[in-house]
Amino acid sequence: MPTPAEQIYRDAVALPTEVRADLAERLIASLADDISPEFTSAQLAEVRRRIGEVESGAVNLIPGDEALARVRSLLAQRLPPEHGR
């Protein structure tokens, strides 16, 4: 027998797309209620710090596709051969 969460999931994926999207948004918004204000403040401070670094020229941004290529290259160098290298 499925768990209550599994049953809710099965019922939810059977809903029309628009209803699922609304439900997903509402569930995600409900998670915000569980985040401590201190954590949220720390995240906001970090975002502001990073924006300041970019705006001041202290750091340079690179395109997303280039960043992903770098990460993939680093992973390929470090993963054992059985991981598709």
Cα–Cα distance for residue pair 10/18, rounded to 1 Å: 16
Asked whether 59 and 53 are in contact (CB, 8 A), the reply is yes
Give the model confidence (pLDDT) of 7-34 as tens digits: 999 999 999 999 999 999 999 989 888 8
Give the model confidence (pLDDT) of 38-65 as tens digits: 888 899 999 999 999 999 999 999 999 9
Asked whether 10 and 2 are in contact (CB, 8 A), the reply is yes
For 59-85, what is the mean pLDDT? Answer: 86
Q: Which pTM value belongs to this model?
A: 0.44
